[in-house]
Structure 1
Amino acid sequence: MKKSVLDKIFLIVLGGSFIGAIFVAVLVFFLTSELYKSLIALIGSQILFLIPVFGIRKIIGDIIVKKLRVVSQAMQEVSMGNLDYEIKVEKTGDELEELAESFERMRISLKTIMEKLEKGEL
């Protein structure tokens, strides 16, 4: 199974959160000179950071990556010669909608050109 860009970004963010949590724990240790409090700070800051990170990753996965996979599937179908594979464009007002619309226009243009070639009009 391929790793998605989202997974790679997520691993980088996890690494950064771990380094940040260690920094907080070391700071707490130097301020309090208590190992127990610094371990609590390490665990607490890691948990407090990971909860929103997991939530954001889920949202990005559901919204952005899902739409990109729809466009990718359409590209695969058209590249294999299936010019009838229509992509459903969601009205979201973002760049992903623009990408899907552009691809759909390209698919229709290719289909029109292929039909004209078959009829001998070109």
Structure 2
Amino acid sequence: MEKKGSVLNEISLIVLGGSVVGAIFVGILVYFLLASAGDPSALNKAIISTIIIEVAFLIPVYMIRVLIDKYIIQKIKTIEKALNEVSMGNLDHKVEIKGNDELAQLGEAFERIRISLKTIMEKLEKEEL
């Protein structure tokens, strides 16, 4: 079985990459501003400011990861579990996604499909008897 990648890890890497680019940009800006003012330690100050800014970005990046997991990934996992259950024949597995977003709407649509399948299967079973 092929190992699944994580969308959350990919999103985190993209956000972290953006924060690194932003920190480097600020460091370069600091260097040019200090160097143009004649500061002999411009490079050291630019490197230190880049490191400080990147460390400061790590907290929001982690918070973004936690929020994405809570509000998006967990809903996707709930829908995935329901899809797997129903595909294996368990038509009693209900899908309950709270919220008013696209993923909640997807969960509701899947729940309607599950109910329709269950109704059809029950009708077929009655006809066979």
Give the TM-score of the pair, scaled to structure 1. 0.88
Q: Deviations over 1:39-93 (max 9, x none)?
A: 1210121122221121011011012111111111000000011111112242x22
Computed over aligned residues only, the root mean square deviation of the Cα atoms, in angstroms, reads 1.6
Aligned to 1:102: 109
Matching residue of 1:68: 76
Question: Which residue of the partner structure matches residue 39 of structure 2?
Answer: none
**Residue in structure 2 matched with residue 88 of structure 1 by the alignment:** 96
Q: Does 1:9 align with 2:11?
A: yes
What's the % identity of the aligned pairs? 55
The alpha-carbon deviation at position 4 of structure 1 amounts to 1.8
- Superposed, which structure 2 residues align to 1:7-86 within 5 Å? 7-33=9-35, 34-86=42-94
Q: CA deviation at 1:100?
A: 1.1
Q: Using the alignment, how far apart are the partners of 2:96 and 2:28 within structure 1?
A: 52
Radius of gyration: which is bigger?
2
With structure 2 as the length reference, what TM-score do the two structures score? 0.84
Deviation at 1:12, TM superposition (A): 1.4
Q: How far is 1:105 from its partner?
A: 0.8
Partner of 2:38: none
Partners of 1:88 and 1:64 lie apart in 2 by 14
Q: Take 2:103 and 2:21, find their aligned partners in 1: how far apart are those partners?
A: 33
Q: Runs in 1 of length 4+ with deviation above 6 angstroms?
A: none
